[in-house]
Amino acid sequence: MQSSINRRIEVSLVIPTYNERANIESLIPLIRAVLEETGRSFEVIIVDDDSPDGTWQVGQELMREYPELRVLRRLHERGLARAVLRGWQEAQGEILAVIDGDLQHPPETLALLIEALEKQGGISR
């Protein structure tokens, strides 16, 4: 993955989390693999509502291995919709997406979404 300095980010993926420590370590590599397959530059933003299980801390540790990952820890806000909006406010990508942190949505659907947008002419290279 190329450095985030001076590169255009095409896809910003927000993952709102609350007590997802057990899932986040396996989710991030899956997401990275799927997004790398698309050939598009990307960032992944975890927006955590100060999870008591330390989800945000696990995310910060993963940032060492995954330079495209950022973690936002919200201390005084709660709620899925607000977390998504907060992530999108920070996002730098042209395509904004969201996926649950509990693995209930297969990460492969991200590639299908991007492919559908490409076919419809909604995004270009």
pLDDT at 21: 95
pLDDT tens digits along 80-100: 999 999 999 999 999 999 999
**What number is the average pLDDT over the span 12-31?**
96
CB burial class (10 A; 0-12, 13-18, 19+) of residue 120?
exposed
Q: How many residues does the chain have?
A: 125
| pLDDT grade for 3, boundaries at 50, 70 and 90 | very low
pTM of the model: 0.90
Would you kindly state where each structural domain of the chain is located, as residue ranges? 11-119
Say which residue the tokens 């999108």 belong to.
88
pLDDT tens digits along 43-84: 999 999 999 999 999 999 999 999 999 999 999 888 999 999
User: Does the pLDDT at position 6 exceed 90?
Assistant: no
Q: Does the domain spanning 11-119 belong to CATH 3.40.50.970?
A: no
